[in-house]
Amino acid sequence: MSRSPHTQEPARLRSFFTLFGIQTVGAAIIYWNVLPLYRLAIADAKPLQVELEASIWPLVAIALIQSGYWISRRIQPPLPRFRNALLGLCILFLARMGFVLPTSIFGFVFIAQKHDFQIPAFRYGVILAGLFSLYCYLQDFERLGRSFLGREADSDAN
């Protein structure tokens, strides 16, 4: 017995919010752990002594964001059909503001390197993976905002 398309819609919509929620947890872990380290690095260029726990959380966050993002891209769950211009614009604004920290980190680590600032080579890879993960997450965040505006939310050029 097959379900009608209308009964499958809420389940598929739940899958979007579940996968987006997984990504959001990963992004929150990154912001929660990285922002204090970034502030310390900006204030004092001496090498940071990062605890093992602080080294593992970014890897967990990257895995959460990447798994949620790529599963969502694979199954393509529908976005909400709810329309609200104010909510859509607020979400788009938050998505843009959400990329300020990753852009600042990239600029600090790769462009305007302080003379005394040093991190192990492995961490450069983790930083790039984290930045890419946040980029992927914010792409989905923008898709959600565009869906509330009633625009074609998945312009796959992104």
Structural domains of the chain, count: 1
Average pLDDT, whole number, for the chain? Answer: 81
- Assess if residue 133 is contained within a domain: yes
- Assess if residue 155 is contained within a domain: no
Greater confidence (117 vs 65) lies with 65
pLDDT reading at 75 higher than 90: yes
Q: What is the pLDDT of residue 91?
A: 95
Q: Name the residue with tokens 């959380």.
A: 57
End-to-end CA distance of the chain: 38
Q: How far is CA 4 from the centre of its chain?
A: 34
Locate 75 and state its tokens: 């199954």
Q: What is the pLDDT of residue 53?
A: 62
CA distance 44 to 114: 10
pLDDT reading at 6 higher than 60: no
Q: Are 26 and 63 in contact (CB under 8 A)?
A: yes
Q: What is the pLDDT of residue 49?
A: 60
pLDDT reading at 127 higher than 90: no
> How many CB atoms are located within 10 Å of the residue 54 CB?
14
Greatest mean pLDDT among 5-14, 57-66, 102-111 lies in: 57-66
pLDDT reading at 1 higher than 50: no
CA distance 69 to 49: 31
Confidence band of 158 (pLDDT split at 50, 70, 90)? very low
Torsion 66-70-75-78 (CA) sign: positive
pLDDT per residue as tens digits for the range 22-52: 999 999 998 888 777 777 776 765 555 656 5
Is the pTM higher than 0.75? The answer reads: yes
Could you tell me the residue range of the domain that residue 127 belongs to? 5-149
- Assess if residue 158 is contained within a domain: no
- Assess if residue 48 is contained within a domain: yes
- Assess if residue 16 is contained within a domain: yes
Which residue from 158, 154, 136 is spatially nearest to 145, judged by alpha carbons? 154
> How many CB atoms are located within 10 Å of the residue 101 CB?
16
- Assess if residue 157 is contained within a domain: no
